[in-house]
Amino acid sequence: MSFNAIQILLVAVWSFIVAIDQFDLLESLYQPIVTGAVIGAILGDLQTGLIVGGTYQLMTIGNMPVGGAQPPNAVIGGIMATVFAISSGLDTSAAVGLAVPFALIGQYMVTLLFTVMSPLMSSADKMAEKADTKGIVRLNYLAMGALGLLFAIVCVAGLLGGSALGETLTAISDKYAWIMTGLSTAGGMMRFVGFAILLRIMLSNDLWGIYFAGFTLATIIGYIPDLSGSALLLVAFVGIAIALYDFQTRVAIKQNAGNGGNGGEEDGI
């Protein structure tokens, strides 16, 4: 199946937008269920786009970047799965499988871009000290533009090259496995750096117990095969429950303190 210039241009523009949305705009345009529908509409098959996008969304629903560590990129993966399903007439499972090399390349590109941009953080700090808001804005636009351009190039190349390019990417990954291993290792280290930064800012002494309890719970659930896939969601629900209980307790204490500690005019029954 061939595509005209307008379709290719629209795919490039949409890829550029959702790449930026994933890390900056955060309007959920980058979610596979949205990108699948939009790409399907651009390529003339909205129904297939919705089906493939929804399937890819379910596959990646538990994936999330932690402190800079990137899972296989859902943006590129969702776009390319839809492209393959429509252009080659593949079923949903085959299209999703064929899109995996592109998702991995997206992961490596994001990790590489984060690595390249990290030395510029010191420049941003100096700009902040001088109240150079325009310089900080330019720096952010540079990063967003580079990310969007990389995603647009990969998606358009996949649109034009199809499955042959996917096989080539897989062969390159195998041949230069040491590069991919290095990027993966860097991404794995970033999650600990990210957590360290978050803990330094957010953690107070009275939360250490909750931190260790959550870590233990996540480890235990992760080793249970039937629950490991939803471990993150389960731990999040436990955290929400603890947060709600803590909030209600603190509100009750403040209200009681406001009443002079005597419970007000009611007898408590």
Q: Quick one: pLDDT band at residue 48, thresholds 50, 70, 90?
A: confident
- Quote the CA–CA distance of 98 and 96 in Å, as a whole number: 5
Residue 183 has pLDDT above 60, yes or no: no
Residue 111 has pLDDT above 80, yes or no: no
Q: Taking the CA of residue 49 as centre, how many other CA atoms within 13 Å lie in the half-sphere pointing to its CB?
A: 16
Q: Tell me, what amino acid is at 60?
A: T
Residue 94 has pLDDT above 70, yes or no: yes
Q: Are residues 210 and 247 in the same domain?
A: yes
Residue 12 located in a structural domain: yes
Contact 55/67 with Cβ under 8 angstroms? no
Residue 179 has pLDDT above 80, yes or no: no
Residue 211 located in a structural domain: yes
Q: Are residues 167 and 189 in the same domain?
A: yes
Identify the residue whose tokens are 């079923």.
91
Q: What is the per-residue pLDDT for 231?
A: 75
Q: Which residues, 6 or more positions from 18, have their beta carbon under 8 angstroms from its beta carbon?
A: 29, 30, 34, 35, 75, 79, 151
- The pair of three-digit structure tokens given for residue 238, joined into one six-digit string: 């436990």
Q: What's the mean pLDDT in 239-263?
A: 79
Name the pTM for this structure: 0.59
Residue 187 has pLDDT above 60, yes or no: no
Residue 268 located in a structural domain: no
Domain boundary (163, 178, 202) is at 202
Q: What is the per-residue pLDDT for 13?
A: 92
Residue 99 located in a structural domain: yes
Q: Are residues 234 and 154 in the same domain?
A: no
Q: Supply the DSSP symbol for 73.
A: P
Stronger pLDDT, 265 or 148, i.e. the higher one:
148
Q: Are residues 254 and 150 in the same domain?
A: no
- Quote the CA–CA distance of 78 and 56 in Å, as a whole number: 6
Residue 125 located in a structural domain: yes
Range of the domain at 42: 5-202
